[in-house]
Amino acid sequence: MDKAFEPRIIAFCCNWCAYAGADMAGVSRLKMPPTFRIIRVMCTGRVDPLFIIHAFVQGADGVIVAGCHPGDCHYISGNLKAKQRINFLKGLLKQTGLDKRLEMYYVSAGEAYRFQEVIEEFTERIRKLGPNPLKKLPPPKKEGNKREVLHTELLWIFKGLGITEIQPWQPSEEEIIPGFGTPVYDPDKCVGCGACYNNCPENVIMLEDVDGKRKIRHYYWSCITCRTCEEICPQDAIKVEEGFDLTAFLQQTVHDDIELPLVKCRICGKFFAPEPMVKEAKEKEIPLELLDVCPDCRKELIGKELVELLGHRGL
């Protein structure tokens, strides 16, 4: 054990219980190691998993989340949600060893001695573990949306610790937290209209027209389960399944969902729309001359017809 090592611990404390407990410990002049920095949050339910990952990336030796006892949360179940997130993160970080540097505690406003005990116990644990090995590395750039930042930082942690082979990890039903999932397509219903791709706020879905085929794919387990695709799909062809797979998430595995043949424009010969979509439109009795022409040629045709019509009327 390095005697000179003084851990730097980040403690996310809920305003109503743990923070008040810490305050009381201070007012009561209880002796505590000066190793922790408190970040006050209104409820532990506010602690996003990304806050914790970010603390480790920035070199924290340990992270505590401290909140109200079960049943006492001022927002009913924020502490239970936080506990679920901590369990999820612990599982996810197991291979990195950072899971031992993370803990959740329940401390009420009147438990000044408990707060002191928690800090002493956790500081001792971190002292034994030594400094966060990621400390020496320059942190990665924070770019993109929250999910992208989580992906970048997690990948950086694994690489930084020299882990080349990521062990598969999937949370159990109790461990899984809301906000991770994957869209599942019904190939019998999907007509390839692209509404899911056009409306996905996280750019999880990809759409490509190549070699006369429309391909729809998505990044596995990068979905935030907002269910926009599910709601927007006119064919009711998508269901979002909750779940998470660490390897697929870190490797940004692409899942092939749909591949549909495209029809050619009868005028310019360009591929422009998936066959099932055109077939469906035909069934809706949309005039055939509008269905086998691409949007560019269609505009031209309509323009010509308009000019003709106006000419007939001497305009």
Q: Which residues bind ligand FES (CB under 6 A)?
A: 14, 16-17, 43-45, 67-68, 73-75, 78-79
CA distance 238 to 193: 12
- Minimum Å gap between C-beta 81 and ligand FES is 9
| Structure-derived torsion over alpha carbons of residues 228, 42, 73, 56, reported in degrees to the nearest 10 | 80
Residue 9 bridge partners (DSSP): 36, 62
Ramachandran quadrant class, 76 (left: phi over 0; alpha: psi -120 to 50; beta: rest): left
- Mention every residue, 6+ apart, whose C-beta is less than 8 A from residue 285: none
- Run of H or E residues at 242: strand 238-242
Pick 75 or 271: Cβ nearer ligand FES: 75
- Minimum Å gap between C-beta 43 and ligand FES is 3
- Minimum Å gap between C-beta 47 and ligand FES is 9
Pick 21 or 171: Cβ nearer ligand FES: 21
Pick 79 or 96: Cβ nearer ligand FES: 79
CA distance 194 to 229: 10
CA distance 262 to 303: 25
**Cα–chain center distance at 105:** 25
- Minimum Å gap between C-beta 202 and ligand FES is 28
Q: Residue 225 has which token pair? A: 């389960």
Pick 74 or 264: Cβ nearer ligand FES: 74
Work out whether strand 36-41 and strand 9-14 pair parallel, antiparallel, or are unpaired: parallel
Pick 44 or 182: Cβ nearer ligand FES: 44
- Minimum Å gap between C-beta 48 and ligand FES is 14
- Minimum Å gap between C-beta 180 and ligand FES is 22
- Minimum Å gap between C-beta 45 and ligand FES is 6
- Mention every residue, 6+ apart, whose C-beta is less than 8 A from residue 161: 96, 97, 133, 134
Pick 47 or 157: Cβ nearer ligand FES: 47
Q: Residue 260: which of 215, 198, 206 has the closest Cα?
A: 215
Work out whether strand 102-106 and strand 238-242 pair parallel, antiparallel, or are unpaired: unpaired
Pick 44 or 96: Cβ nearer ligand FES: 44
CA distance 259 to 275: 11
Pick 21 or 192: Cβ nearer ligand FES: 21
- Minimum Å gap between C-beta 65 and ligand FES is 9
Pick 55 or 68: Cβ nearer ligand FES: 68
- Minimum Å gap between C-beta 14 and ligand FES is 3
Contact (Cβ atoms closer than 8 angstroms) between residue 192 and residue 258 = yes
Q: Residue 226: which of 206, 240, 243 has the closest Cα?
A: 240
Q: Computed from CA positions of residues 95, 96, 101, 102, in that sequence, does the dihedral angle turn out positive or negative?
A: negative
